Amino acid sequence: MHTIRTPDLPSREITDEALYWNRREWLKAAGFVAAALPLAPSTLAATRGDDDELTPWETVTGYNNFYEFGTGKEDPKRNAQGFVTNPWSVEVSGEVKNPRTWDLDDLIRGLAVEERVYRMRCVEAWSMVIPWNGFRLRDLIDRLEPTSKARFVEFTTLHDVRRMPGQRSSILDWPYTEALRMDEAMHPLTLMVTGVYGKTLPPQNGAPLRLIVPWKYGFKGGKSIVRIRFTQRQPLTTWNVMAPHEYGFYANVNPNVDHPRWSQKKERRLGEFFRRDTLMFNGYADEVASLYTGMDLRRNY
């Protein structure tokens, strides 16, 4: 049976970086409108600046944070080779109409898959520009029908020491968890990702299912998700528990609020020499600033 985890198009086999570069030139000329690419039902969302060049595939899939497969940037690529993601179950629990465990393919069947090019900003002050494939989290949430009590949604990564050798170390309190407020989760920019560069998501990037929230630091994007839980109370999240003064629940990209040990004003776009200014909400302020009206972002970092 054909899996629908990634856009299963014949063109995908020939989709490589070069094609993306061409497409980028073409889109520039077309001013992003009518992004009806031959054979591609996806939409290339205009969510990046014109000077944002795509980060090469080798960097996107070779420089990763995924402590379950080691703490070095090159560890996940090596140690996640052969990580089996089929079959894959996702438990949906908490404040939801029908709590149950889903087969991933059933869970996401028929949800509209798109391509979105997002700027990614790690709390470590490096950044990339990545063409993700995925569907809006809000579409999945609509399918799951949370109850009126659901105010947050939590994502839990697989905990399996045999398959994730990094979990032999107690560097983090496994399993890795992340969470969003419901309005953040329902925002149209919030993506559940199943692919990158038009290909199935490699394990080092969080296969088969991971979260991407482009206006937040990268650590909010939990990988290899096995549980989605809706809650009334704000869930505990891995980095926040680990180092509460350094990593908050919100983790919005904010050049005005430094990490206690380093500045967040600038970032190094991988592949570039000069550092860039980091933008408020990673450049997505027009779309997301209203989510935080009235909140003190120095306290809610």
Ligand X SMILES: Nc1nc2c(c(=O)[nH]1)N[C@H]1C(S)=C(S)[C@@H](COP(=O)(O)O)O[C@H]1N2
CB of 208 to ligand X, least distance (A): 13
User: Residue 204: which residues within 8 A CB-CB, separation 6 or more?
Assistant: 61, 62, 64, 66, 69, 76, 77, 80
CB of 220 to Mo ion, least distance (A): 9
Helix H or strand E segment including 129? strand 126-136
Number of C-beta neighbours around residue 283 at 10 A: 19
Each residue 201-220 as x (binds Mo ion by CB under 5 A) or -, in order, gives -----------------xx-
Each residue 111-130 as x (binds ligand X by CB under 6 A) or -, in order, gives -----------x--------
Each residue 55-84 as x (binds ligand X by CB under 6 A) or -, in order, gives ---------xxxxx----------------
Q: How far apart are CA 223 and CA 164, in angstroms?
A: 12
CB of 124 to ligand X, least distance (A): 7
Q: How far apart are CA 278 and CA 217, in angstroms?
A: 11
Contact between 122 and Mo ion (CB under 5 A)? Answer: yes
Residue nearest to ligand X (CB): 218
The entry of Mo ion, ligand X, none near residue 222 (CB within 5 to 8 angstroms by kind) is ligand X
CB of 293 to Mo ion, least distance (A): 26
User: Residue 125: which residues within 8 A CB-CB, separation 6 or more?
Assistant: 262, 263, 264, 266, 267, 268, 278
The owner of tokens 């993306």 is 20
What does each C-alpha distance from 187 to 160, 191, 259 come to in angstroms?
Answer: 31, 9, 26
Each residue 156-175 as x (binds ligand X by CB under 6 A) or -, in order, gives -x------------------
Site stretch for ligand X (CB under 6 A), options 8-16, 38-46, 131-139, 221-229: 221-229
Asked, as a colleague might, if the bond just before 87 is cis with ω within 30 of 0, I would say: yes
Cα 167 → chain centroid = 21
The entry of Mo ion, ligand X, none near residue 94 (CB within 5 to 8 angstroms by kind) is none
Q: Which residues bind ligand X (CB under 6 A)?
A: 64-68, 122, 157, 176, 205-206, 218-219, 221-223
Q: Which residues bind Mo ion (CB under 5 A)?
A: 65, 122-123, 218-219
